[in-house]
Amino acid sequence: MWLWFSKLGSPKWFYELSGKWLPWLIATMILFLVIGATWALLYVPQDYQQGLTNRIMYVHVPVASLSLSFFPLMAVAGTITLVWKMKLADMVVKVAAPLGAWFTALALASGSIWGVDTWGTWWIWDGRLTSLLLQLFLLLGIISLRSALEDSDAAARACALLSIVGCINVVVIKYSVDWWNTLHQPGTTFGMSSDQPNGPEFWIPLLIMGIAVALFFTVSLILATRNEILERERRSQWVQELVQE
Amino acid sequence: MKPHRRKRLGIILFIAAGLSVSVGLILYAMSQNIDLFYTPTQVAEGEAEVGQRIRIGGMVKEGSYESAEDSLQVRFETTDYVNSVPIYFEGILPDLFREGQGIVAEGTVDAEGIFQASRVLAKHDENYMSQEVKAALDAAGATPENHQLSPQPES
C-alpha cells in the first residue's frame, strides 16, 4: 500500500496514467451532459409552483454540491503536502483553488438567477448564501496567498493549512439551512415513486447532470494538474523528451 | 509512518479540531443573530422592538389576503399556525406569493402591532412535483405538510 502511495505521488506516473484515462473520461462526460441537459431542459415536468423556473435546479444543484467538495479535496491534499511533502499533492492544492472559485461563483450566479424569479430578489444575507460567499472569498484568499509568498515551500505550507481550516466552512454551508431559518430552501429528499413529491421524474435527470458535472470537475482537475506538472518539472528529463517528440 | 511525520500529522489534527470547536461555539453563541427572520410568534410576544427594522417569516394565512382596488396596497396575515401578525405592504409582490405559501417580509412593527413591510420575498419549500402529482395528492388528502417553516426541531 505504501508503495502504491509513493508511486501515486510521482508526477511522471500520474501524467502517463491520466493521459490514458482522459479520452474515456471526456467521452463519458459528453454522453452524460447531452442526455442530462436534454432531459432536464425539455422533458422534466413543470413544477406545480414554479413552472419552468425550477429547471435551473439542474445546473445549480450539481454545481453547488460539487463546489463543496473543493475544500475537503484540498484539505486532504494539503495534509499530504504537510506530512509527506508530496509534490503532486501541492500541485492539486494549487490548481484546485481557482477551479473551486469558478464553481463557487457559478453556484452563486445560478442561484441568484433562480432567486430573482422565485424569491423576488437577487441576493439576501441569509445563512446559506453568506457562507457560500465566504467560501468564494476563502478560495480567492488562497489563490492570492500563493502568489504573494515568494518561497514556494512556505506558500505550499500556508495554502495547505488554510485549506484545512476552510473545511469547517463547508460544514457550515451544508447545515446552514437546518441550523438557522433562511430564505434558501432546506435540502430536498428524493421521493421513491412518481406519485410522491420529488419523484424520479425530477431526480433521475438531476442525478445524470450530477454525474456529468462531477466528470467535468474531474477532467478539469486532471488537465490543470497535468499543466502544472509540465510547468514544475520542465527541467526534468522526461518532460524534455516529451516536448521534443 | 516515521515519528516526525506522525508528530506533524498530530499537530495538524489538533489545530483542525481546536478550530472546529471554537467556530462551533461562536456559531452557537451567534445563532440568534444568524437567523434571517423572526417568526410571527416571536413578534407577537414582543421580541422585536417597535420601529426596529426586522424581517418576519411565516406562511400567508389562508383567506387573509386583501388588496385595494385602486392602488398596490395589500394586507395579509403571516402565521406560523400558533400566532399571526398582520402585514401592510404597498408594492409588487413576487410571482410565487400566494395564500398558504411561505414569505419573508422586511419592515418594522408599528405601535399597533401591525408589520409595515417595505419588501416582501417569497419562500419556496423543498418539494417539487408536477401539477398531476399535486392534484392526485390533494385528492387523496395526502399533501405533504408545508406548514413548517425551516425545520426547527429543538424549539
Look-up: residue for cell 491520466? A18
> For chain A, what percent of residues have pLDDT higher than 70?
97
For the residues A14-39, what does the mean pLDDT come to? Answer: 93
Residue A18 placed within a domain: no
pLDDT at residue B89 tops 50 = yes
Together in a domain, B128 and B59: yes
Model confidence band, residue A239 (pLDDT cutoffs 50, 70, 90):
confident
A164 neighbors A79 (Cβ within 8 angstroms): yes
Closest-CA distance of chain B to residue A241, Å? 35
Number of domains, chain B: 2
d(CA B3, CA A62): 41
Taking CB atoms and an 8 Å limit, are A180 and B150 in contact across chains?
Answer: yes
What residues in A contact B95, CB-CB < 8 Å? 117-118, 120
- pLDDT attached to residue A21: 92
Spatial CB neighbours of B97, under 8 Å, sequence gap ≥ 6:
B60, B103, B120, B122
Res A66: pLDDT: 95
User: Quick one: pLDDT at residue A103?
Assistant: 96
pLDDT band at B86 (very low <50, low <70, confident <90, very high): very high
Range name among A155-159, A236-240, B58-62, B101-105 with the lowest pLDDT average: A236-240
Query: Does residue B152 lie within any of the structural domains?
Result: no
On whether residue A29 sits in a domain, the answer given is yes
| B112 and B51 in a common domain | yes
Say which residues have a Cβ less than 8 Å from residue B36's Cβ, sequence separation at least 6.
Answer: A124, A125, A126, A127, A180, A181, A182, A183, B55, B57, B104
pLDDT of A238 > 90? The answer is no
Domain assignment of residue B4, given as a range:
1-34
- Give the model's pLDDT for residue B154: 37
Q: Which of residues 50-69 of B touch A (CB under 8 A)?
A: 57
CB-based contact (8 Å) between A245 and chain B? no
Q: How confident is the model at residue B152 (pLDDT cuts 50, 70, 90)?
A: very low
Interface of A with B in 93-152 (CB under 8 A): 117-121, 124-127
Q: Is a pLDDT exceeding 60 seen at residue B148?
A: no
pLDDT value at position A1?
Answer: 59
pLDDT digits (tens, 9 = 90+) for A49-101: 888 888 899 999 999 999 999 999 999 999 999 998 888 999 999 999 999 99
In a domain, B15, yes or no: yes
Question: What's the number of domains chain A is made of?
Answer: 1
Mark whether B2 and B54 lie in a shared domain: no
Which residue on chain A is closest to B15 by alpha carbon? A165
Looking at per-residue confidence, does A26 or A195 come out higher?
A26
Using the Cβ of B130 and the Cβ atoms of chain A, whether some distance falls under 8 Å is answered with yes
Q: Is B71 among the domain residues?
A: yes
Contact B133 A194 (CB under 8 A): yes
Q: Is residue A7 part of a domain?
A: no
Q: Measured between beta carbons, which residues in chain B are less than 8 angstroms from residue A180? A: 31, 34-36, 150
Same domain? For B51 and B6 the reply is: no
Do B48 and B88 belong together in one domain?
yes
Which of B2, B101, B150 would best serve as a mutation to test chain A binding (most A beta carbons within 10 A)? B150
Query: In three state form, how does the secondary structure of chain B look?
Result: CCHHHHHHHHHHHHHHHHHHHHHHHHHHHHHHHHCCCECHHHHHCCCCCCCCEEEEEEEECCCCCEECCCCCEEEEEEECCCCEEEEEEECCCCCCCCCCCEEEEEEEECCCCCEEEEEEEEECCCCCCEHHHHHHHHHCCCCCCCCCCCCCCCC
Task: Write the DSSP assignment of A119-188 as a string of letters.
Answer: TS-S----HHHHHHHHHHHHHHHHHHHHHH-SSHHHHHHHHHHHHHHHHHHHHHHHHHHHHS--SSPPPP
Same domain, B101 and B132: yes
Domain of B97, CATH number, reads 2.40.50.140
Evaluate whether residue A31 is within a structural domain: yes
Q: Could you tell me the residue range of the domain that residue A138 belongs to?
A: 24-40+52-185+199-244
Residue B18: inside a domain: yes
Residues B77, B24 share a domain: no
Please say if the pLDDT value at position A104 is more than 70: yes
Do B75 and B61 lie in one domain? The reply is: yes
In this predicted structure, the answer to whether residue B116 has a pLDDT above a threshold of 60 is yes
**Residue B126 lies inside a defined structural domain of this protein:** yes
Is B144 part of a structural domain of the chain? no
Q: Are residues B27 and B46 in the same domain?
A: no
Q: Do B74 and B114 fall within a single domain? A: yes
Residues B15 and B75 in one domain: no
In chain A, which residues have their Cβ closer than 8 Å to the Cβ of B56? none
Residue B145 has pLDDT above 70, yes or no: no
CB contact (8 A) between residue B128 and residue A57: yes
What ipTM describes this predicted complex?
A: 0.75
Whether residue B78 lies inside any domain: the answer is: yes
Looking at the structure, tell me whether residues B28 and B57 fall in a common domain. no
In a domain, A62, yes or no: yes
pLDDT of residue A2: 66
User: Measured between beta carbons, which residues in chain B are less than 8 angstroms from residue A177?
Assistant: 150
Residues 11-40 of B with CB under 8 A from A: 12, 15-16, 19-20, 23, 27, 31, 34-37, 39
pLDDT reported for residue A38:
93
Give per-residue pLDDT as tens, A114-140. Answer: 998 888 889 988 889 999 999 999 999
How far does A99 lie from chain B, in Å, by closest CA?
24
Q: Taking CB atoms and an 8 Å limit, are B36 and A197 in contact across chains?
A: no
- The answer to whether residue B60 is domain-embedded is yes
Contact A164 B12 (CB under 8 A): yes
Residues B15-63: tens digit of each pLDDT: 888 888 888 888 887 777 777 888 888 888 888 888 888 899 889 988 8
> Averaged over A169-192, what is the pLDDT?
87
Q: What is the mean pLDDT of residues B112-135?
A: 85
Mutate to test the interface with B, among A6, A183, A185 (most CBs of B within 10 A): A183
pLDDT in tens, A213-222: 999 999 999 9
Closest chain A residue to the Cα of B37, Cα to Cα = A181
